[in-house]
Amino acid sequence: MTTALLPRFAQAMAPVFSRDTFSGIQQDMDELWNRFRMEMDGDRIPAAWLPSVDLSESDDAIQVRVDVPGLKASEINVEVNGNILRISGEHKEEKKEKGRTYHRMERRVGSFSRTITLPDEVREEKVTAECQDGVLTISLPKSEAAKTQTVKVIAK
């Protein structure tokens, strides 16, 4: 019975061990810890939440898009250091009105933090971030060393 479980375990763990040595493990642990910290209080949404992230790249740049519905640009922090991108923010609970009884509150409030290991080094001084319609778009131009170089093959 134990031998039957080993192939399934190895298959499940393959994505973890197929990465570069330990890259991304800190990010995975941070996200796992954030999920454990979430507290459910009846029908309320957890205080900690993790926005969805899309990461894509072209020859010249890396682009990160993050869903941050309801957040203002002033509530979001973006930090870049080498090939590490950290996005954090906090959405504060709106002031409750006197004379109003709330039967349900599901809108997300609280803080979040995402740390992403980028596939290449970027030019930190050229990074831009803009927030529109609940989507944060971060453009990270690649460093000259990280750009793909095309070499012409000469026949002899």
SS3 8: helix
| Cα(94)–Cα(92) distance, integer angstroms | 6
Please, what are the domains in the chain? 22-93+105-145 (2.60.40.790)
Residue ranges in the chain assigned as alpha helix (H): 2-17, 25-37
SS3 55: strand
| Cα(10)–Cα(55) distance, integer angstroms | 27
- pLDDT band of residue 97 (cuts 50, 70, 90) is confident
What pLDDT does residue 42 have?
43
For residues 4-13, give the mean pLDDT.
Answer: 58
Q: Which of 26-35, 78-87, 89-98 has the highest mean pLDDT?
A: 78-87
| Cα(138)–Cα(122) distance, integer angstroms | 12
| Cα(149)–Cα(59) distance, integer angstroms | 9
Asked whether the beta carbons of 71 and 89 are under 8 A apart, the reply is yes
H-helix or E-strand spanning residue 77: strand 76-81
Residue 15 CA: distances (Å) to CA of 77, 86, 96, 148: 30, 22, 45, 26
What pLDDT does residue 95 have?
67
For residues 119-124, give the mean pLDDT.
Answer: 91
Q: What are the structure tokens assigned to 16, written together?
A: 């973890």
- pLDDT band of residue 127 (cuts 50, 70, 90) is very high
What pLDDT does residue 126 have?
94
What pLDDT does residue 44 have?
45
- Compute how many other C-beta atoms are within 10 angstroms of the C-beta atom of residue 87: 22
